[in-house]
Amino acid sequence: MPFKAVVFDAYGTLYDIQSVAAVTEQAFPGHGDIITQIWRIKQLEYTWLRSLMQRYDDFAVVTRDSLVYTLRVLGLRTDAATLDRIIAKYLDLDPYPDARAALAAMKDHRLAILSNGSPAMLDGLVRASGFDSLIEAVISVDAHKIFKPSRQAYALIEETLGLAPDDVLFVSSNPWDVCGAKAFGLNVAWIERVSPEAMAAACLETDLVRPLTMFKALRTQMDELGFAPDYRIAALSELPEIVSTHEP
Amino acid sequence: MPFKAVVFDAYGTLYDIQSVAAVTEQAFPGHGDIITQIWRIKQLEYTWLRSLMQRYDDFAVVTRDSLVYTLRVLGLRTDAATLDRIIAKYLDLDPYPDARAALAAMKDHRLAILSNGSPAMLDGLVRASGFDSLIEAVISVDAHKIFKPSRQAYALIEETLGLAPDDVLFVSSNPWDVCGAKAFGLNVAWIERVSPEAMAAACLETDLVRPLTMFKALRTQMDELGFAPDYRIAALSELPEIVSTHEP
């Protein structure tokens, strides 16, 4: 039986979160990389911590708070207008170059997004990229007020699409998201954008590392959480073949 | 009314998790810093992720898994004996230099630990440091099979000591732990070991950072989670005065 739907993570999977670096660098010349990396690392931390603390607030709040944290830690002063300008990039992130073609190649399947993003953030993002015509449903964890990788977040796929987890292929580049989706019972394809060889080489060159290297070391390699993806691909462009040839 | 008990976080608060760097450096010369930082960052991530995924496993497992991840990411080969030797340091972490004196100075108060550590890990640690004679109760989150900052973890203080949250001063150097304890309703003292000024200076010197600097940027500055500590101190040695003069 083929998959009845392919559901994508948004940030880091269809959309390149590193594309905010152009904006952070413009606002704080020379510091774009470290701002971008600490911001993203803390953004995800805050989703996990708020979920555990039972203090949910939506991803727009978390995104702003984590940027405020980042600039404070770096001792960089800012104003509301600059903050707004940086955060606005989250509504217009660059899609990965192969995202549109991959979605279009799977147009005979039901396609959806399941994301931590707030409904307003996701709506802006999907419209700006023009993916709204390719995707049937944009599912925000906001409906259950808890972030991935909690089980309640992944349960929204079945609640929205009416499909059992085993009928769905979930696609993410985020290792923690892959593990969470597997633990929940979904079929999962992991997009491995940073090879283990490139990763190790970048880390071990010197005593000092680029913030981007630390980000990659923390968030691009498969986690040790007791789960493994069903499919391991290097780019979205490999997905259509998996989806078309799948016979579980 | 004075506090009826002072409850300490263990890792990073009474015991210096950075003291594993001597062991990681010995095992992998030149790479001790990056191993130490990625290991600690992932160790905490795994506690949060496993808690959200409802896939609890104890802190000994998480500590080993996060070290395995770290060495794999860095492309460092190892064997079980080396892994065991590195992990053994977690049973014998260096206490902060002022920890013993601070505990001894508060001996008229009920003193306890609430930690993510497994009972066996905490037992080893408290005995190795000789703090067992100073501390009434060593409380492991393992009793509820979920890690801090979940509310169920902090609830163990009342369940074990029979004291309401408002009668307890919780002490942690970990900002996320401070926020979690405040969200739960405890009085909280935050040990701020890295000043904002030192932090900003370390981050902005060059395009490259030490892994320790990235660790500090991620995990030593107060988080933007909507909570603030009741007391902000620079060292454990400041605690006895707060505890002795407190009148809420």
Give the torsion sign (CA, B190, B194, B198, B200). negative
The verdict on a CB contact (< 8 Å) between A34 and B209 is: yes
- Answer whether residue B23 shows pLDDT above 80: yes
- Distances in Å between the alpha carbon of B69 and those of A38, A200, A219, B40, B74? 20, 12, 11, 11, 9
State whether residue A176 sits within 8 Å of chain B by CB.
Answer: yes
The verdict on a CB contact (< 8 Å) between A209 and B30 is: no
The verdict on a CB contact (< 8 Å) between A209 and B66 is: no
CA-atom Rg of chain B in angstroms: 18
pLDDT above 90 coverage of chain B, percent:
74
Shortest alpha-carbon distance between residue B198 and chain A (Å): 10
Distance CA A97, CA B203 (A): 32
Q: What's the complex ipTM?
A: 0.94
| A 146-175 residues inside an 8 A Cβ radius of B | 147-151
Torsion angle in degrees (nearest 10) through CA of A70, A71, A73, A76? 160
Please tell me which residue of chain A has the smallest CA distance to B65. A224
Compare CB distances from A204 to B31, B204, B210 and report the shortest one's residue. Answer: B31
As given in the structure block, the two tokens for residue B109 are 């108060």
The verdict on a CB contact (< 8 Å) between B176 and A45 is: yes
Set out the domains of chain B in order of their start, with CATH numbers: 5-16+93-245 (3.40.50.1000), 18-91 (1.10.150.240)
- Phi/psi-derived region of residue A30, left when phi > 0, alpha when psi is between -120 and 50, beta in every other case: left
The per-residue pLDDT for A233 is: 85
Query: Long-range contacts: A182-185, Cβ < 8 Å, 24+?
Result: A182/A227, A182/A228, A182/A229, A182/A230, A183/A149, A183/A151, A183/A225, A183/A226, A183/A227, A183/B53, A183/B54, A183/B55, A184/A149, A184/A151, A184/A154, A184/A155
Compare CB distances from B199 to A30, A41, A73 and report the shortest one's residue. Answer: A73
pLDDT band at B1 (very low <50, low <70, confident <90, very high): low
Q: Which residues of A touch B65 (CB under 8 A)?
A: 224-225
* Cα B48 from chain centre: 14
Lowest-pLDDT range of B138-142, B159-163, B203-207 = B203-207
Q: What is the mean pLDDT of residues B73-96?
A: 94
As given in the structure block, the two tokens for residue B111 are 């003193």
A171, exposed or middle or buried, with CB in 10 Å at 0-12, 13-18, 19+? buried
Distance CA A51, CA A30 (A): 34
Distance CA B40, CA B18 (A): 9
As given in the structure block, the two tokens for residue B155 are 């609830």
Distance CA A235, CA A237 (A): 5
More confident residue, B228 or B49: B49
Mark whether A9 is an active-site residue. yes
pLDDT tens track, chain A, 248 positions: 689 999 999 999 999 999 999 999 999 999 999 999 999 999 999 999 999 999 999 999 999 999 999 999 999 999 999 999 999 999 999 999 999 999 999 998 999 999 999 999 999 999 999 999 999 999 999 999 999 999 999 999 999 999 999 999 999 999 999 999 999 999 999 999 888 888 888 887 777 888 888 888 888 888 888 888 888 888 888 888 888 787 65
State whether residue A72 sits within 8 Å of chain B by CB.
Answer: yes
A133, exposed or middle or buried, with CB in 10 Å at 0-12, 13-18, 19+? exposed
pLDDT (tens digit per residue) in B30-64: 999 999 999 999 999 999 999 999 999 999 999 99
Shortest alpha-carbon distance between residue B28 and chain A (Å): 11
State whether residue B183 sits within 8 Å of chain A by CB.
Answer: yes
The per-residue pLDDT for B24 is: 96
pLDDT (tens digit per residue) in B26-35: 999 999 999 9
Q: Mutation test of the interface with chain A: which of B43, B50, B52, B223, choosing the one with the most A Cβ atoms within 10 A? A: B52
- Distances in Å between the alpha carbon of B20 and those of A27, A183, B36, B39, B85? 38, 31, 7, 10, 11
The per-residue pLDDT for A247 is: 62
Shortest alpha-carbon distance between residue B129 and chain A (Å): 30
DSSP codes joined into one string, A70-108: HHHHTT----HHHHHHHHHGGGSPEEPTTHHHHHHHTTT
Catalytic residue among A9, A16, A58, A167: A9
| B 12-51 residues inside an 8 A Cβ radius of A | 30-31, 33-34, 38, 41-42, 45-46, 48-51
Contact between B216 and B196 under an 8 Å Cβ cutoff? The reply is no
The verdict on a CB contact (< 8 Å) between A223 and B46 is: yes
pLDDT band at B247 (very low <50, low <70, confident <90, very high): low
As given in the structure block, the two tokens for residue A37 are 């990396």
Contact between B46 and B60 under an 8 Å Cβ cutoff? The reply is no
Distance CA A188, CA A178 (A): 6
DSSP lists the bridge partners of residue A53 as none
As given in the structure block, the two tokens for residue B67 are 């070290």
Sequence-ordered list of residues with C-beta below 8 angstroms from that of A8, at least 6 positions apart, any chain: A14, A111, A112, A113, A114, A170, A171, A172
Contact between B42 and B71 under an 8 Å Cβ cutoff? The reply is no
pLDDT band at B220 (very low <50, low <70, confident <90, very high): confident
Lowest-pLDDT range of B15-24, B115-124, B201-210 = B201-210
DSSP lists the bridge partners of residue B11 as B15
Q: What's the mean per-residue pLDDT of chain B?
A: 92
